[in-house]
Each structure stands twice: as structure tokens, then as C-alpha cells.
Amino acid sequence: MKKEFFLSLVIAFLYSCETANKKSILTADNIIKKSLIAHGGKNALKGITSQNENGVTLIFINDSLFRSNQYVSLKKTGGKSYYQSPSHQKKYGKKLIFANNGDYSWTQNDGAFAPYLQPQEEHISQGGEDYPYLLNLDARGVKTFYVETIIEESETLHRVDYTSSEGIKEEVYFADSSWLIRKTRRFIETSQGTAEMLRYFNDYRIIKNVAIPFRTEAHFPPREMNINIIKSLQLNDTILDSRFEFPKPKNLGRTEINAIVGAYYNLSKDVLKIFRKEGKILVEYNNQPATQMMVVDENLLMFRDGIGGGSRIANVFLKKKNNKTSLEIHLRDIITEWVKK
């Protein structure tokens, strides 16, 4: 009886030691090291200098398929990225673009007739690295901290919080069974306001000794889900840096600029002012602080109406009316006409 009691104590002690040891290895550093190996290792990951993928995006709203479209996604070392898909509103541009040249981001969305520079609060760069978030953390000033272990859909996930040098936080969840990244969670600022962004990574396949998810899901409130499925993928293809650069705006001559600048009014007698200052064309609209106008061509200019969440791109078409310059402003699906005084 004493032997059985003593044996049970030994077993309990060994079990507690094993459990404590398991808990002790659940640090951010150890989890990331295991994941680094699972994704192919540092050398293999660093060997990927570019990624060229074609696929399909399925958009679900309230659990029903809203639309689907083909897409092209390019990535290159240095934080360069380019995503293009067909436009959903044919009255605007023919394509949607989200791009970053490594220093700044630019886009063309459903409300814009041409590409424009994107406010950086709308695009959170990973500082030269996107997926899989594993390399160069110290050099980028990213701090990591193991938070907890959870069970989600019968799978054990380990959460590590990544905090950038700018204080931007992202939750990264690693699968206990494979140590591959299964999920990320962060909050981003968009023209619609603050939004929670959840991403899930599935269907991992080994390409050039690197594990890459061929199916990703992005969830947005209230009930939207975007599913990206890779159809073809080429790694380390030659991609010119020019693919990631913002299209160079047209330079207008003095005569063209003089024809544009001035005060305009609409039927409500509101005043819109376009003027030149320090080599830039600025606009004052709806009593807001002056903002810079972007020249697309001789007949199309663009400016951002508002600051931060809720702001939109205004498309400005130059027209002639009774030998006077007039403006046709497209903003939030509303068209207003302004005549030069």
C-alpha cells in the first residue's frame, strides 16, 4: 500500500514537471523559432526574393456569395507589393489596384477614376516583410510577447503579440500541431473608420522548400469574408521595380495651370478655390484646409475630401462652358457643377 502511494506521488511529480516544462518553452522566441523551421527555415525564406501569383477572390456577405473575380498579386523584397483585380463599378476605372513601392502606398479603388497616393494610416506596412512575419524582427524593432494558448475549432493555437517600433500591434496565432501560422488579428484605419481584420491561412503547400498557404480568408465586420485561392504561383521570377511605382502625374504648363486656378461657385453659391503655391496646385473645398490636387491629365484632377476616416477621393473634370472653365466634381456618387467666376 505504501509502495503504491509512493509510486503515485512520483508519477504526479513527474507529470507536474513535464507540464511545467511544456509551459516554460511557450515563449515568443521559442514559438517563432519552431515556426521558422516549419515554414522552411531562415535560408529558404530569405531565398524568396519575389512572388508572382494569380488566383481568384470570392467575396461573401452575410454568408452568401456576393461576387468573385480574378486577381494578380506581385511581391518583392523591400516591402514592394502590387495587387490588381477588375473594377466592380464600371462607371469608374476598369481595375482596382493596391500597391506599395516599399516607401509609400498608392491605390485605385471603386470611387476613383485614376490611381492616387494613399494616406499611410490606411496602409500598415510590415516594414519590408509581410507573410510569414518571421524574419528580421529585431532589425525592424518588432517586440514579441507570448500571451496565451487557446482552443479554436478543436485546434490548439498559441498567441504571440507583435508590436512594431511605431506601436502597431498584431496578434499572430501559431498551430500547435504544425507550428505554422494559422491566424492573424489586427485593427486598421480605413476611409470607413477603424476595422478589425482577421486573416486565416490554410492549404499549405511546399514550393521551393517553403510552406505557402494557397487559401487565405480575410474577415471584416459586420459579416464580410474574402477568400483568396492561389491558382498559379511563381517564386523568384524577375519583376521590374517599375511595377510597384506610382504612375508619374502629368506636368501642366503655365498656360494650362493659369486656366485652372481661380474661384468657382455652384448653384448654391458655395465657393471652391484652386490656387498655386510653392509649385503645387491646391484646392480649398467646403471651408476645409487647403489640400493638394493631383493632375492625371489635362482634363482630370483629383483631391481628397476630408481627413482620415470618412474622407473620399473627388474626381474633378475640367470643362468649357460659354468660353469659361467649369468643373464637374464626382464625389460619393454625386455630381456637382462649378463655374469659374
Long-range CB pairs of 60-65, under 8 A, 24+ apart, other chains included: 60/224, 60/225, 60/226, 60/227, 61/223, 61/224, 62/223, 63/223
Mention every residue, 6+ apart, whose C-beta is less than 8 A from residue 154.
Answer: none
Q: Has residue 22 been placed in a domain?
A: no
Strands 280-284 and 271-277, bridge-based pairing: antiparallel
Q: Has residue 61 been placed in a domain?
A: yes
47 lies in the same domain as 150: yes
Any idea how long the chain is?
Answer: 341
47 lies in the same domain as 174: yes
Q: Has residue 69 been placed in a domain?
A: yes
219 lies in the same domain as 283: no
The predicted model scores a pTM of 0.72
226 lies in the same domain as 267: no
165 lies in the same domain as 259: no
Q: Has residue 11 been placed in a domain?
A: no
Cell numbers placing 229: 485561392
Collapsing DSSP states into helix, strand and coil, what is residue 18? helix
216 lies in the same domain as 328: no
Dump the DSSP string for 218-287. EEETTTEEEEEEEEEEEES----GGGGSPPPPPPPPHHHHHHH-EEEE-TT--EEEEEEETTEEEEE-TT
76 lies in the same domain as 124: yes
Q: Has residue 223 been placed in a domain?
A: yes
Whether 48 and 235 have beta carbons less than 8 Å apart is answered as yes
Domain CATH code at residue 46: 2.50.20.10
272 lies in the same domain as 211: no
52 lies in the same domain as 171: yes
Domain CATH code at residue 334: 2.40.128
HSE on the CB side for 222, CA within 13 Å? 1
pLDDT by 10s per residue, the chain, length 341:
544 544 454 444 444 444 444 445 899 999 999 999 999 999 999 899 999 999 999 999 998 998 888 999 999 988 899 999 886 555 545 678 889 998 888 888 767 888 888 765 555 444 446 667 888 888 888 999 999 999 999 999 999 999 988 888 999 999 999 999 999 998 877 656 777 889 999 999 999 999 999 999 998 877 889 999 999 999 999 999 999 999 888 888 888 888 889 999 998 888 999 999 988 899 998 778 888 888 888 889 999 887 665 678 899 999 887 777 899 999 888 899 999 87
Task: State the total domains in the chain.
Answer: 2
Q: Has residue 5 been placed in a domain?
A: no
168 lies in the same domain as 42: yes
Task: Print the domain residue range for 117.
Answer: 28-230
Count helices and strands (H / E) in the chain. 4, 22
Cα(245)–Cα(248) distance, integer angstroms: 8
Q: Has residue 111 been placed in a domain?
A: yes
316 lies in the same domain as 174: no
70 lies in the same domain as 219: yes
Q: Has residue 312 been placed in a domain?
A: yes
